[in-house]
Amino acid sequence: MNIKQMVRKNILETPPSGIRKYFDMVNEMEDVISLGIGEPDFETPWTIREEGIYSLERGKTHYSSNAGFIELRREISNYMNNRFGLKYDPKDEILVTVGGSEAIDISIRTFVGPGDEVIVPEPSFVAYKGCVMFAGATPVTVELKAEDRFKLKPEQIVNAITDKTKAIIIGYPNNPTGATMDYDDYKAIVEVLKDKDIIVISDELYAELTYEGKHVSIAQFPEMKDRTIVINGFSKAFAMTGWRIGYACGPADALEQMKKIHQYALMCSPTTAQYAAIEALKNGEPEVRRMVEEYNRRRLVMVDGFRKIGLNCFEPLGAFYVFPDIRVSGLSSDEFCERLLMQERVLMVPGNAFGACGEGFVRATYATSIDNIREALVRMRRFLESL
């Protein structure tokens, strides 16, 4: 049997993440400064780790309820209310998932299938398009523009909507651009979406990593709350990527259906992580503030540094990424990243890994030390001068 021939067409047609190639290359090299990996360089704060360890010591090693421990859902509910003024009932409007990743996947699979279209603004997190394709639906790309500071514009949505449009995935603060959307930006797109039968999947994993003003959720608009699934998690804010825990908030009628996929495919999210997450929400706030302050310091050094070596970049106000324009180099994004890695041992990710319209840009993360950032800038200056 040719087993590959047995694989569903839409799985075969989904390309693997464009980032992987670079990580494979780096594994065989020494002295590389990585500005490539999208995860906090901090370890999970100690009291959070301790709570996970303590739960294991007490033998808390069993399944939780499918939706997650009610105590955790209560903490999530308090957090959403205190931070964003969003009220979700812990009983049936919150689902604890295996990372924001699972929440993205099951919210797409619950609503879309073959014949449906999903609007996916790009550049954006690589999983969105993949999950839409796994569901058998068609991603319809909207190209975000540097001159719009990579914000989503109402006319772009209007132009992308067809009678097949079932959902739109919005991800701010954005990976890879670091762009954010403020109240007025959302107000404009709410005008387009508020009376359409289109589900909004709002990925707010980087909500805590907002450096100017306050994070705005599209669900804060009363017209939108009943048609929006808000996705959040612990990976970025609390430096908990390896714990695999996140959550979805939304109308009970939607979550009840999403919970079926979660129940049959995953059962529940890891219980050790759930105990740790309760501690994170109860007492983790000062540690989050400390990490965000440090990211902010690095953000300013990196943006200033890129500009000084001649790379144009708009000021990213969220997440932990900078997305400089590398077109002055005369190289494509791929050539730029490959040559920079081989010549100067600095790893960045080509912008087109996040959608074709990311061509001409690269993603650099400042989830690394200031010393690494400064050294990377010295090496990049030398690289640009060598061209």
Tell the smallest beta-carbon distance from residue 173 to ligand PLP (Å): 8
Q: How far is the CB of 263 from ligand PLP (least distance, A)?
A: 19
Residue 161 carries which DSSP code?
Answer: -
Size of the site for ligand PLP (CB under 6 A): 13
Q: Is residue 250 a contact point for ligand PLP (CB under 6 A)?
A: no
* Residue with smaller CB distance to ligand PLP, 123 or 360: 123
Q: Does 241 bind ligand PLP (CB under 6 A)?
A: yes
- Binding residue for ligand PLP, selected from 64, 77, 110, 175, defined by CB under 6 A: 175
The binding track of 36-55 with respect to ligand PLP, each residue x by CB under 6 A or -, is --x-----------------
Cα distance between residue 304 and residue 72, in whole Å:
40
Task: Characterize 333-365 residue by residue with b for buried, 16 or more Cβ atoms within 10 angstroms of its Cβ, and e for exposed.
Answer: bbebbbebbeebbbbbbbbbbbbebbbbbbbbb
- The CB-of-339 to ligand PLP minimum distance in angstroms stands at 26
Asked if residue 228 binds ligand PLP (CB under 6 A), the reply is: no
Residue with CB nearest ligand PLP?
99
User: Which helix (H) or strand (E) covers residue 94, if one does?
Assistant: strand 94-97
Amino acid 34 reads S
Is residue 213 classed exposed, middle or buried when 0-12, 13-18 and 19+ CB atoms within 10 A define those classes?
exposed
Say if residues 158 and 192 touch (Cβ distance below 8 Å). Answer: yes
171 scored as a contact of ligand PLP (CB under 6 A)? yes
Look up residue 212 and give its amino acid.
Answer: E
User: Which of 18, 68, 90, 233 forms a contact with ligand PLP (CB under 6 A)?
Assistant: 233
Q: Which of 36, 68, 90, 99 binds ligand PLP (CB under 6 A)?
A: 99
Strand partners, 261: none
The answer to whether 125 and 203 are in contact (CB under 8 A) is: yes
Among 203, 208, 279, 287, binds ligand PLP (CB under 6 A): 203
The residues of the shown chain that bind ligand PLP, judged by CB under 6 A, are 38, 99-101, 125, 171, 175, 203, 205, 233, 235, 241, 246
